[in-house]
Amino acid sequence: MTMMNIARTAYGQPQAPLRSPRSLEYDLLARVTQRLRSGWEARKTDFPALAAALADNRQVWSTLALDVANAGNGLPAPLRAQLFYLYQFTDQHSRKVLAGTASVEVLVDINMAVMRGLRGDTGGVL
């Protein structure tokens, strides 16, 4: 392989186009939401999968909370406050799911509402 071919391979067109932050956030929420659903369905036979899905969902929300708490965040202040509240609720509700006193349904609903917002289809939510 010549040096020109090596350069083309290394610096040529990427295989996947660059994606927007909204698209990445949407995909991340979609994956964790699916894991929440699957973990819930298998909770009696594979509780660790549910616990891992809850931990990952909490991590996503913790990261979002840190971002919206940053003064440089460009979202409107009321939306930032709502997202921070959803982080707090998600954290508390996740503990209830782990304790066996609640289901993941509301966590899935929250994630789906945010996903709709990331697509631009808020439908009055958030």
Q: 11 lies in a domain?
A: no
Decide: 104 and 40 in contact? Cβ < 8 Å: yes
Q: 95 lies in a domain?
A: yes
Q: What confidence score (pLDDT) does residue 125 get?
A: 46
What domain range is 25 assigned to?
Answer: 19-119
Nearest alpha carbon to residue 31 among 52, 6, 10: 52
Predicted confidence pLDDT, tens digits, the chain (126 residues): 555 555 555 555 556 567 788 889 999 999 999 999 999 999 999 999 999 999 999 999 999 999 999 989 999 999 999 999 999 999 999 999 999 999 999 999 999 999 999 998 765 544
Q: 6 lies in a domain?
A: no
In angstroms, the Cα distances linking 83 to 15, 68, 97 are: 34, 7, 20
Q: 55 lies in a domain?
A: yes
In angstroms, the Cα distances linking 90 to 14, 19, 65, 99 are: 37, 27, 11, 14
Decide: 22 and 118 in contact? Cβ < 8 Å: yes
Distance of CA 5 to the CA centre of its chain: 39
Q: How many domains does the chain have?
A: 1
Q: 104 lies in a domain?
A: yes
Ramachandran region of residue 125, left (φ > 0), alpha (ψ -120 to 50) or beta?
beta
Q: 42 lies in a domain?
A: yes
Q: 12 lies in a domain?
A: no
Q: What confidence score (pLDDT) does residue 13 get?
A: 57
Q: What confidence score (pLDDT) does residue 112 get?
A: 97
